[in-house]
Amino acid sequence: MIARAFRQVLVLLAAALVPAIIAGTIQLKYHEPDPVPQIDAAAARALGEAVLWVDARPRREFNAGHIDGAVLLNEDEWNSLIPDFLNEWDPDKPIVVYCGGGGCQASKAVASRLLTELQIENVRVLKGGLKAWRSE
């Protein structure tokens, strides 16, 4: 009786394992495209002064050092910083948003809000963030 129950458990586990493997394979193959385009440091440098830099890091990090001419705009202070951003914004200039480094999600979050909430189209995220900019 115990052997029969054990076999039934094994059959159920095997039956559940097949759909799990299929679902996992599909999820690994499919990933949503990034809604915010990226730009690498070399391409961003080529833009020269024809870009508005947006620093998405916390204020203390911005104050410690940032890309020349960058405007601070982070999610923590979004509402209070938007007026300063809008004063600097020129619809003819592309916007490049950056944060600390490659693993930082702050730049994607800020860029996404610029795209969706403010309907600004020419927004990019600096690939690799400030670390990539400084290492070029």
Strand residue runs (E) in 6-64: 38-39, 52-55
Q: Can 99 be counted among the known catalytic residues?
A: yes
Q: Which two tokens stand for residue 125?
A: 């995220």
Q: List the catalytic residue out of 73, 95, 97, 99.
A: 99
Burial 20-46 (b: 16+ CB within 10 A, else e): eeeeeeeeeeeeeeeebebbebeebee
* Among candidate residues 104, 81, 10, the one with its CA nearest the CA of residue 125: 104
Q: Within 10 Å of residue 87's Cβ, how many Cβ atoms?
A: 8
> What are the residue numbers of the active site?
99
